[in-house]
Amino acid sequence: MRRIEGFVSGKSAKATSGREGDVFNPNTGEVQAKVGFASNSDVDAAVQAAAKAHVAWSAVNPQRRARVMFEFKRLVEANMNQLAEMLSSEHGKVIADSKGDVQRGLEVIEFACGIPHALKGEYTEGAGPGIDVYSMRQPLGVVAGITPFNFPAMIPMWMFGVAIAVGNTFVLKPSEKDPSVPVRLAELFMEAGAAAGTDVSGVLNVVHGDKVAVDAILHHPEVRAVSFVGSSDIASYIYQTGAANGKRVQAMGGAKNHGIVLPDADMDQVVKDLSGAAFGSAGERCMALPVVVPVGKKTADELRDRMVAEMETLKVGVSTDTAAQYGPVVSAAHRRKIADYIQLGKDEGADLVVDGRNFSLQGYEKGFFIGPSLFDNVKPGMKTYHEEIFGPVLQIVRANTFEDAIALPSKHQYGNGVAIFTRNGRAAREFAAKVNVGMVGINVPIPVPVAYHTFGGWKRSAFGDTNQHGMEGVKFWTKVKTVTARWPEGDVGDSSFVIPTMR
């Protein structure tokens, strides 16, 4: 059986722990590979490789590092089909969605290609008599990323693209559920890195595993910063443990994104947008839209009827089926979890309008498929509303007024994304200003910002004070050094024993 190993110092690195995990094909339910889990010593070897490479890589000027990013982008684009097929075979999302996964990661790489401009510091001439003050951004050293199963290409590139471009070296611990794409990206980065003209074989390293590998990263004294995306409970643990060990940490958690539908919304567009945002990628997105809040009974009744009709047209199929809107979920355990949430919602008293639990795909009965589900009359006190289901389940929470609708996402424990559907510019502007959520879409169902802006939620959706990519990413992966310089003329004067001022 095929075995997937780590990638350290530019070559495959076999795990020494003696432990391994199964890598499934979610379409068939079969184990297609084994992935070796890293030991503490394996993680240390990756960190040491990164530390050795940092000496040379941090000395490479930003323009040359940008050229490596340009070449990496070219290589990823040239290998897009291979990466998408690899990703779909382990995650289960359809090929078109897998290509989107890769492309959204590449957009951050494109941003990183402009890193010389982003690294420019500030300069003040004549801050005092003969005194100039200037600042510079410098890399932290060895940094790390811990990434989830749902975006095995995009999120690693979100992290290491900016981190490496500014001069750091990187250790990546991707999800053990779909580990092949991150390794392939590291191989392509090494191929691109030859343009640097120096030994940087340890600039990007990959280790696989579970909590053992995560803890080894969090406690390693040479790892200066850690970025994480995953569930909120683990994000909280990552943040607290990393900070306790003196590291800079950004940890993105879960979500329960809401879509507010006002009576004047374009209902044709709303139904199409909700269908894609709630059920695309089987709902396994932190920016999925699993809660819709229609304002007023008439709006809610119409939305419910039209969503049922739309859901009847959805096609669930294998990842390679170009006509399928979404494929299987990542694992049998996750499928059971989603099914349990559906039963819980029914037990809690919500109206189960469409039940997707009995869906089965002919010829792929052992695959991890689940059909789309729809609940109506979900109440804020229900556990299924409070928690993240992370599956193809859409919940209708009815609101009587605009104010009630704003209050729902604002009071929820998560604050990742939110959307409003309306033709009323004033209402949209007021909503964007008042809602207590980090990313807002106006007639945009999945408001993931473009790469040169920044991604990050509020409340239990994010721990730490710095967001992903954009200039926030540059700030996270660098430290600022400020220099105050004076070049005196003639003889050196007497020393001063008071704090210098600019008078």
- Phi, psi at residue 157, to the nearest 5°? -70, -35
Which residue from 78, 102, 214, 204 is spatially nearest to 152, judged by alpha carbons? 102
Rounded Cα distance between 393 and 274, Å, is 11
Q: Quick one: CA dihedral 235, 181, 153, 248, positive or negative?
A: positive
Identify any residues that bridge with 481 across adjacent strands, giving them in sequence order.
136
Quick check: 385 and 379 in contact, CB under 8 A? yes
CA distances 310 to 4, 133, 220, 268, 279, Å, are 40, 62, 51, 10, 11
Rounded Cα distance between 401 and 412, Å, is 17
Give Cβ neighbours of residue 267 (< 8 Å, ≥ 6 apart): 261, 302, 303, 306
- Catalytic residue, candidates 235, 286, 311, 324: 286
Rounded Cα distance between 175 and 160, Å, is 15
| Active-site annotation holds for 286 | yes
- Phi, psi at residue 393, to the nearest 5°? -130, 120
Rounded to the nearest 10 degrees, how much is the dihedral formed by the CA atoms of 10, 12, 13, 14?
Answer: 180
Helices of type H across 312-387: 332-348, 383-386
Rounded Cα distance between 143 and 501, Å, is 37
Which residue from 255, 241, 279, 196 is spatially nearest to 457, judged by alpha carbons? 255
Q: What is the CA radius of gyration of the chain?
A: 25
AA identity, residue 422: T
Place of tokens 């959805």: 314
- Phi, psi at residue 4, to the nearest 5°? -105, 125
First to last CA, the chain: 74
Which residue from 282, 254, 259 is spatially nearest to 271, judged by alpha carbons? 259
Question: Beta-strand (E) ranges in 64-140?
Answer: 123-128, 131-139
Supply the residues annotated as catalytic. Answer: 286
